Chain A
Amino acid sequence: MYGRGLRSLSIASLVLVTGAFALVFFYAPNEADQGFVQKIFYLHVPLAIVALCGFVAGGVYAIRYLRTGDRAHDLRSYVAIHLSLIFGVGVLATGAIWAKASWGAWWVWDEPTLVSFLIVFLLFACYQPLRFSIDDPERQARYAAVFAIIGGAFVPLNFLAVRLAESLIHPRVLSTTGGAMPGEMRMTFLISLIAIVCLFVTLWKYELASKHASMRLRALKRALAGDDAAGPLARTAAPTQL
């Protein structure tokens, strides 16, 4: 059930990501002010957009879990947030590289989007520790869902606050909507975005399939060979039962 279409997705991701990289290096023009280093923007911004959407998606699945009690939604929520955190590290890293190359400092507070992202990242970084600290799996899922919903609602509010705080003094350095971008840059950006989305979805499905398989395996072991056959469950942040 979870593994369907995984192969085609993987191939599609591979093709798109490679294609996007090719476009970035060979097709997109060098930006006038910042030069070659600006090209990291084609990786940085899509990662950020996808990570943020991933956090919000985690919140949406959390709502569905609370409404239906179906733990499959909890699993999806967990994986979405988990992957977004990993992508988030990529966002912060590429942001730092870009900042270093552009302004000589590893971090700058000028870019409101980056700063908001840091705050959101700090918040969601608590998701797994929170889950890990609750023993009862059902309660763990429920509390994690409440947290994910709060976090999901937090994302837009946080952006608003930080944007307001920064916009007075510093003009926006990075345009993500492509309003001022020439056609070639816009195309490259779009392909990169689609590639990262595809990559996220592929990894998401992989992790879902993997976790689901482990759960089924464990349940089968216990059903066939008795409760002790599979060994005691270690404490974990991830959902262990469907």
Chain B
Amino acid sequence: MSTVGALVRKDLQLELRTRESVPSMFLFSLSTFVLFRFGLDRETLAGDLASGVLWVTLLFAAVLGMNRLFVAEREEGGFDAFLLAPVDRTALFVAKAAVLFGFLVAVEIAAIPAFAVLLLGPSPAQALPELLPVLLLADAGIAIIGTLVGALAIQTRARDLIVPLISLPLILPVVIAAGHATAPLFAEAGAEALPGRWLGVLGLYDLVFGLLALAVFDFLLED
């Protein structure tokens, strides 16, 4: 557990020092919102359209984050240093997933108000408390897959291509579930109830892939 702490602390230190990931992810989200405004030729969105745009944007921002997640290790040869330490190697997975999760939450804290201002028709204030569990569960799923795919891609030559190619289909169920869950929250006439079933799907997805990731991650590190 303290290993995870040390790793997370190191990554947060790096991010604060370089300010690479989170600001870029946020700016990218903003640009994507503008893109959608023109691409869809709409000035306000509601219901499932709003939901879809939000989740696709968050997904693309997450892919940016995934690409950067292991880059420090790759460039500074840091994998070896960790592999030489007498610690549980799965701690690296937990730490990296936690960091990616944290980045996503940080981006959302800024991006969702931006979304509300730029594109969302109905006010999200009412929907907020119900939006939260969906965000957290979806972010967990994206973080798990993102860490797995990031680690997978780190040793390949076409790193930047492999990450989006592989992660998009894998995260699709999360987008489907989260999109369906948040659609009624953005309803034109005011937020409606959250369909609980989709939280169940997200939870199941997180559980299955979380366990799977813990089981296979070691194989990506050893030689």
Contact = CB atoms under 8 A, between A and B. Distances in A.
A154 B170 contact: yes
B219 A133 contact: no
A149 B176 contact: no
A123 B169 contact: yes
A162 B174 CA distance: 11
A146 B172 contact: no
Interface in B177-223: 177, 180, 197-198, 201, 204-205, 208-209, 212, 216, 219-220, 223
Contact of B166 (A123, A142, A160): A123
A135 B157 contact: yes
B166 A149 contact: no
Contact of A134 (B157, B166, B208): B157
B165 A143 contact: no
Contact of B209 (A123, A143, A153): A153
B173 interface: yes
A126 B162 contact: yes
A154 to B, nearest CB: 6
A187 interface: no
Contacts of B158: 129, 133
Contacts of A135: 157
Nearest to A122: B169
B155 interface: yes
Given A66-B219, A126-B165, A146 B152 contact: yes
A153 B169 contact: no
Interface of chain B, main secondary structure: helix
Chain A interface secondary structure, helix, strand, loop or mixed? helix
A130 B216 contact: no
Contacts of B156: 130, 133-134, 143
Contacts of B220: 142-143, 146
Contacts of A142: 219-220
Nearest to B174: A161
B51 to A, nearest CB: 13
A154 B170 CA distance: 7
Nearest to B220: A146
Interface residues of B, number: 30
B30 interface: no
Contacts of B180: 165
A164 interface: yes
A153 B208 CA distance: 8
A146 B173 contact: no
A143 B177 CA distance: 28
Interface string A128-159: 01100111000100110111011001100110
A193 interface: no
Contacts of A122: 168-169
A126 B212 contact: no
Contacts of B205: 157, 161
Contacts of B152: 130, 143, 146-147
Instruction: With a 10 A CB-CB cut-off, give which of A135, A142, A145, A146 has the most chain B CB atoms.
Output: A146
Contacts of B201: 160-161, 164
B216 A133 contact: no
Contact of A165 (B176, B212, B216): B176
B46 interface: no
B148 interface: yes
A175 to B, nearest CB: 23
A120 interface: yes
11 contacts: A119-B169, A123-B170, A126-B165, A143-B152, A146-B219, A150-B216, A154-B170, A158-B172, A161-B201, A162-B173, A165-B176
Interface of B: 148, 152, 155-158, 161-162, 165-166, 168-170, 172-173, 176-177, 180, 197-198, 201, 204-205, 208-209, 212, 216, 219-220, 223
Interface of A: 66, 119-120, 122-123, 126, 129-130, 133-135, 139, 142-143, 145-147, 149-150, 153-154, 157-158, 160-162, 164-165
